[in-house]
Amino acid sequence: LDDNPSHYKITLSGIMKSPKIKFDPPFLMLMPVPLDVKTERAINIIPQDYLRSSRIQVELPELELEDGDKICPFSVRFPEGQDIILSSNGTNMELNCHISFRSSKPISSLGTIFFTDEEEN
């Protein structure tokens, strides 16, 4: 380059992937049960494109009964923990999640359980 300045143009391009989670199965139907009997189903949470560890948070729906009372008949537990971990090969490990329902009063509902990470994705 010495006394002959040249101009170089460098173009960089890339794809930014947003972290997301998928579910297996993609929706959940719990079987009807007698009052005060728990029904439960296991699902797999499949994190994708997480470049660092994160923790799954859960928001459960509160349901209103005919008499105006509000209850939260759902519960969620993660038997092996709720942390999204990046494995040594660069993929995210699946999380096992158990969703259960129990109510002492008759109720039928269709609702959404929200799963988010620490950045509210």
- pLDDT tens digits for 69-96? 899 999 999 999 999 988 888 789 999 9
Beta bridge partners of 20: 48
In terms of C-beta density within 10 A (0-12 exposed, 13-18 middle, 19 or more buried), how is residue 84 classed? buried
Q: How many Cβ atoms from other residues are within 10 Å of residue 49's Cβ?
A: 13
More confident residue, 6 or 84: 84
What are the backbone dihedrals phi and psi of residue 21, each rounded to the nearest 5 degrees, phi first? -125, 145
pLDDT at 55 over 70: yes
What local confidence, expressed as pLDDT, does residue 56 receive? 94
Overall size of the chain counted in residues: 121
What is the average per-residue pLDDT within 94-111? 90
Token couple for 46: 């499949």
pLDDT, mean over the chain: 88
| pTM for this prediction | 0.78
Go through the domains of the chain in sequence order and give each one's CATH number.
20-116 (2.60.40)
Residues 6+ apart with CB under 8 A from 22: 45, 46, 48
What is the average per-residue pLDDT within 29-57? 92
